[in-house]
Copies of this chain bind each other. A is one copy, B any other.
Amino acid sequence: MSPLDDLSALSACCPALTAPADIEPYARDWSGRYAHPPRAVLRPGSAEEVAAALRACAAAGLAVVPAGGRTGLCGGAVPRADGPPAVVLSLERMNRIRAVDARDFSITVDAGCTVRAVQEAAAAAGRLFPLSFGAEGSAQIGGALSTNAGGIRTIRWGNARDLVLGLEVVLPDGRVLNDLRRVRKDNTGYALRHLFIGGEGTLGVITGAALKLAPALRARETAFLAVPSPAAALALLDRLSSNGAELIGFELIGRWPLELVRRHAPRARLPFALESPWYVLLELGTAAAGADLRTPLEGALAAAVEAGEAGEAVIAESEEQRAALWYLREIMPECNRAEAPSVSADTSVPVSAVPSFLAEVEAALAARWPEGKLIAVGHAGDGNVHIALQAPRGTPREAWHRDAEAIEDTVNRIAVAHGGSFSAEHGIGQSKRHAMAALRDPVALDLMRAIKAALDPRGLMNPGKMLP
């Protein structure tokens, strides 16, 4: 078949974009590092249209790159510049909330719903969909599941994976795996859905999901405090956790990224002078009517101050103050970029290893790149502290990024030596395939390749992603 025949066969399956100007937005993700236009963009409106599209692509031998909101940072949802001819399959038209069952604490949605749309539909039923991260207004649930997204609430409700009851998946040959059940207990064979969750579209296309909901929160308490060290932050975390505090967020923040917020975010209001090397932003939340979160929080903070684990501390007294504290955290990536280029890692370690991990990272980076500034900020409550090494102001991006692989590798190896992961929540995509090859257990890689070959024998699903 000629390329023209291919495209008309695809257009018969579902709406397709083929004009270069229409396709252009689908050539890149938020990282900006990866850009390559697909042959066409398919925009199916149902699982049946996805199935027809995958059959047509298989017949034409075209590779398929599934795409959601394209908010990823690893090039997972854009074609490879050196890859085979590929189409992008965008789920954006599949954006129906299929069903909400409040009593069952479940919601069933199309894969193309944004994470925020799912949150809003849950809230309308008096429930909480707890997945929450910066890009939630654009990120689609199918992408969030395919990359097993994390975010700020995993300390309480886990990752995207932990919120899934069932999936609908179109397989590479166009068959539909209808596993969209809502049962909490099901032991009928291998847990297939866990291959597609975090599978980055390399085994099939998630078209629908049944998701768990939680009771709506009735009260929250948010605190921001100075701590002398990561070890002190962890001692406070332990104090809170052991006493059954209902933590829904626990962020550890180095002084430097807060300095950058002060410098670049005119709207930001820091509650006190930045005299400490580390800070914690934490939040408690409860669905219990009339529960008092404030008294135990104040008690824990007072005890932490007495034990030397904490210095100055503020508790938000209004929704406005709460928003102002979270704004400090949310504006950080923007302020970092405004200052100077940086190279980022996405590591996690066991929670108890966070202090030792940070100390080793700081020493190793300072030894080799003394001119760099350490940006450490992240979800310490689940061991996922994001490390970035920032160039001195005025350094051109290209110059600093010449060492990108070496910087990342330095951080990744320290994480792995601590029993950690070099990709905590962003996934692999194109950007971390070399780390997969260098750092992942060869036996695990062999098993993954065997599974890929079994489910996608022709290798047409998102080729050149994830597996090295």
Contact = CB atoms under 8 A, between A and B. Distances in A.
A266 interface: no
A458 interface: no
B185 A348 contact: yes
Contacts of A349: 183
A447 B244 contact: no
Q: What number of copies of this chain does the assembly contain?
A: 2
A216 to B, nearest CB: 8
Contact of A287 (B176, B181, B243): B243
A177 B443 CA distance: 6
A79 to B, nearest CB: 21
Interface residues of A, number: 94
Contact of A451 (B159, B199, B440, B451): B451
Most buried by B among A106, A216, A234, A289: A289
A426 interface: yes
A450 interface: yes
Interface in A140-173: 147-148, 150, 154, 158-159, 161-162, 171
A210 to B, nearest CB: 9
Contacts of A105: 241, 351
Contact of A441 (B178, B287, B426, B451): B178
A444 interface: yes
Best-surrounded residue of A177, A218, A443 (most CB of chain B within 10 A): A443
A179 B441 contact: yes
Interface in A235-262: 238, 241-246
A459 to B, nearest CB: 15
Interface stretch (A36-44, A110-118, A186-194): A186-194
A225 B1 CA distance: 71
A425 B192 contact: no
A149 to B, nearest CB: 9
Contacts of A159: 184-185
Contact of A185 (B154, B296, B467): B154
A166 to B, nearest CB: 9
Interface string A361-386: 00000000000000000010011100
Interface of A: 101-106, 126, 147-148, 150, 154, 158-159, 161-162, 171, 175-179, 181-192, 194-195, 197-199, 203, 215-216, 218, 234, 238, 241-246, 286-291, 296, 348-353, 379, 382-384, 419-428, 432, 436, 440-441, 443-448, 450-451, 453-455, 466-467
In order of increasing CB-CB distance, the 5 nearest A-B pairs are A244-B287, A194-B194, A244-B288, A186-B421, A185-B424
